[in-house]
Amino acid sequence: MPPGDSEATRKRLIDAAIQEFSAYGIAGARVDRIAAASKSNKAQIYHYFGSKDGLFDAAFDSLVVAAVEDAPIDPNDLPEYAGRLFDGYEDHPEILRLATWYRLERGDSATPIEAVTKNIQDKLDAVARAQEDGTLPRSVDPVVILGLVIHLAQIWSAASPEFAPFVPKLSRADRRTAVVDAVRRVLAF
């Protein structure tokens, strides 16, 4: 098998896994469906990832890496960073669905995924540096600032089933503007 084939197979497996896990969760996902969707086989899943959980971790890691590349943090303009996060959640709803399944099914018992933990720490460090140089208020813990920004960016995508039917009444641009403006107001501590 040519060297590029194994990487292409791995990518197809991860792409299919993202769709499967975001639709059915970790427990509900089926490796046979992932194999079929990726035009691969179950043996390759276990060869590349070791287990269904290993495949989930790789899929989640892949989404985190893509999200970080698509929306790098700018601690000097957190409102626009929230806007870029909003764009990512709108363009790729599987991100929040996968994260929700992760929280529901793994909860506190999960072994932290290194890429996710590193990403969060890098963002917290960026916020702390912005506090040190006076760009952001020092009176608020970086965890609070980052948490508010991230969750405000998710507000429309994470709407309850009862609230969600009302959301389309606002255009995407209006929802994005609401997120950016809310973060701007929140940061005026």
107: alpha, beta or left? (left if phi > 0; alpha if psi -120 to 50): left
| Same domain? 102 vs 11 | no
- Is residue 146 packed enough to be buried (19+ CB in 10 Å), middle (13-18) or exposed (0-12)? buried
The identity of residue 111, as a single letter, is T
Rounded average pLDDT per 10-residue block, the chain, 189 residues: 75 96 95 96 94 92 85 93 95 91 82 81 96 92 96 91 86 96 90
- The pLDDT assigned to 2 comes to 54
Q: What's the rounded Cα separation, in Å, for the pair 61 and 118?
A: 11
Alpha-carbon span 36 to 34, nearest angstrom: 5
Q: What is the CATH number of the domain that holds 33?
A: 1.10.10.60
Q: Which residue range(s) make up the domain with 97? A: 71-189
The CB-side HSE value for 117 (13 A sphere, CA atoms) comes to 6
Torsion of Cα atoms, 144 then 125 then 98 then 42, to 10°: -160
Residue 63 lies in a domain: no
- What does the pLDDT read at residue 1? 46
Please tell me whether residues 186 and 98 are part of one structural domain.
Answer: yes
DSSP assigned state of 76:
T
Say how many domains are in the chain. 2
Q: 23 with 99, same domain?
A: no
The verdict on 95 and 181 lying in the same domain is yes
Do 46 and 122 contact (CB within 8 A), yes or no? Answer: no
Torsion sign across C-alpha atoms 65, 69, 71, 74: positive
pLDDT at residue 111, rounded to an integer: 75
- Measured CA distances, 125 to 69, 74, 145 (Å): 17, 12, 12
Residue 159: per-residue pLDDT? 85
pTM to 2 decimals? 0.85
